Amino acid sequence: MSDADAVTTIEIRTNQHHYEAIVGSQLLDRIGPLIAGKVRGSRCALISDTNVAPHFADRVAKSLAADNVQPTLITVPAGEKSKSLEQAGEICERMLAAALDRQSFVVGLGGGMIGDLSGFVAAIFQRGIPHVQIPTTLLAMVDSSIGGKTAVNTKTGKNLIGAFHHPAIVIDDVDLLKTLPRRDFNQGFAEIIKHAIIADAKMFEQLKDWKASDALALQPLITRNIEIKSSVVAKDERDRTGDRALVNFGHTVGHAIERASDYEQFRHGEAISLGIVAACNVSTKKADLPKDQQKAIVDLLQSFELPTRLPSNFPRARILEAIPYDKKFEGGKIRLVVTSAIGSARLSTDVTLEDIREAIDRL
């Protein structure tokens, strides 16, 4: 086997679930054999979007068919607005029309939006059927495909209707990242930098020397991020003790920024980059994050061409309006993830709405 064909398998274990994430190249044409034994059934829904399906859906469908699985391709419009209860219901209707049943399964082929949407559909269709994740973006590979959170958005906020439904397997073909536009590729580094901030100071230092052309390093980088995310999830699978909230560093403000711009102005990773800066602003005040480390975080985000300041005409008031609907609020009290030093984080309950307002004003 050549280095190009080398595959890394990460075992993901929680109290109640066990599955694998497979990272490597040239995996897309081997989907059929890779999922054999992980799911049963001779029919599946292949859910993708209008950006991804034209590039990759045929290859996945052919691989499934070669392994005696009949796929029904369901394509939704690209973009966060497809992550809705209405779209999930429409997909379920199309699955029923295709005679899919409890012995079928779902394959999600796309970025984080598709992973969330297809996972939610798998969780609710006939009270739950298996879900195969095939992420096509760096962001989805390192973060959203791991951990079993599935959800759709509402007019009030992001990911407010959902279910815990772990995938049967996650298949990360790094070759797919070669087709990503630079902006879409770079947004994945917001989640990678987030993982470094909360759990891996060594990786943070390594990212300072990252070269955009360093494709060979992507596989171990993705693997390390899956390990970080899965280890946090294993401690708090259903997000009840506060341990799992650590992976949401920067997400409280980031999600609010997405909603304030109607999911149109920023990619998810770009909004998270801004949320990370805001969380660092709060951390300097509430967790004694050193100023030089705060600057190092901002500099690293900027090195990946991620935004660290809001446009002057951005509706900041709308950000603050969205904050109380964040899922990390409990009983009306703010629970914000803060960092006192790169490589560690904790959930704070002494952050005020005024602290967040100040942090947003500084963006």
The span from the CA of 322 to the CA of 344, in Å, is 27
How large a percentage of the chain has pLDDT more than 90? 81
Query: What is the predicted pLDDT for the residue at 2?
Result: 42
Lowest mean pLDDT among 9-18, 62-71, 170-179, 276-285: 9-18
CA gap 138, 228 in Å, rounded: 15
CA quadruple 79, 135, 150, 192: dihedral positive or negative?
A: negative
Q: Are residues 18 and 82 in the same domain?
A: yes
Among 162, 179, 196, give the residue marking a domain's end.
179
Same domain, 169 and 241: no
Phi, psi (deg, nearest 5) at residue 241: -95, -15
Mean pLDDT along residues 257-272: 94
Mean pLDDT computed over 231-246: 78
To the nearest 10°, the Cα dihedral for 307, 308, 313, 315? Answer: 100
Taking the CB of residue 20, how many other CB atoms lie within 10 A of it? 15
- Reported as a single tens digit per residue, the pLDDT across 109-142 is 999 999 999 999 999 999 999 999 999 999 999 9
Q: What is the pLDDT of residues 149-176, one digit of tens each?
A: 999 999 888 899 999 999 999 999 999 9
pLDDT recorded at residue 333:
73
Res. 294: pLDDT tops 70: yes
Asked whether 342 and 196 are in contact (CB, 8 A), the reply is yes
- 145, 39: one domain: yes
Is the same domain home to 24 and 169?
A: yes
Q: Domain check: are 7 and 156 in the same one? A: yes
pLDDT digits (tens, 9 = 90+) for 322-334: 888 775 566 567 8
The 3-state secondary structure of the chain, one letter per residue: CCHHHCEEEEEEECCCCEEEEEEECCCHHHHHHHHECCECCCEEEEEEECCCHHHHHHHHHHHHHHCCCEEEEEEECCCHHHCEHHHHHHHHHHHHHCCCCCCCEEEEEECHHHHHHHHHHHHHHHHCCCEEEEECCHHHHHHHCCCCEEEEECCCCCCCEEEECCCCEEEEEHHHHHHCCHHHHHHHHHHHHHHHHHHCHHHHHHHHCCCCCCHHHHHHHHHHHHHHHHHHHHHCCCCCCCCHHHHHCCHHHHHHHHHHCCCCCCCHHHHHHHHHHHHHHHHHHHCCCCHHHHHHHHHHHHHCCCCCCCCCCCCHHHHHHHHHHCCCCECCECCEEEEEECCEEEEECCCCHHHHHHHHHCC
Same domain for 136 and 96, yes or no, is yes
Both 105 and 131 in a single domain? Answer: yes
In the prediction, which pLDDT does 324 show? 80
Residues 141 and 246 in one domain: no
Q: How many structural domains are present in the chain?
A: 2
> Is the Cβ–Cβ distance between 95 and 72 less than 8 Å?
yes
Query: Considering 120, 147, 179, which residue would you say is the last residue of a domain?
Result: 179
Q: What is the CATH number of the domain that holds 321?
A: 1.20.1090.10
Residues 202 and 335 in one domain: yes
Regarding whether 207 and 150 lie in a shared domain, the answer is no
Structure-token pair, residue 329: 């609020």
Q: What is the pLDDT of residues 192-204, one digit of tens each?
A: 999 999 999 999 9
Q: Which domain holds residue 326?
A: 182-361
Q: What's the rounded mean pLDDT across residues 306-327? A: 89
pLDDT tens for 63-114 read 999 999 999 999 999 999 999 999 999 999 999 999 999 999 999 999 999 9
| Contacts (Cβ under 8 Å, ≥6 apart) of 212 | none
Mean pLDDT, residues 285-310:
97
Do 169 and 186 fall into the same domain? Answer: no
Classify the phi-psi angles of 37: left when phi > 0, otherwise alpha if psi is within -120 to 50, otherwise beta: left
Residue 150 confidence (pLDDT): 96
> Which region holds residue 127: left if phi is over 0, alpha if psi is between -120 and 50, else beta?
left
Joined tokens for residue 334: 């703010």
Judgement on whether residues 292 and 326 belong to the same structural domain of the protein: yes
Query: CA–CA separation, 143 vs 138, rounded Å?
Result: 8
User: Which pair of tokens denotes residue 208?
Assistant: 């300072």
CATH number of 137's domain: 3.40.50.1970
pLDDT of amino acid 214? 64
The model's pTM: 0.92
pLDDT, mean of residues 330-358: 89
Contact 172, 27 (CB under 8 A): yes
Query: Residue 291 — pLDDT band, cuts 50, 70, 90?
Result: very high
Neighbours of 331 (CB within 10 A): 5
Considering 110, 144, 179, which residue would you say is the last residue of a domain?
179
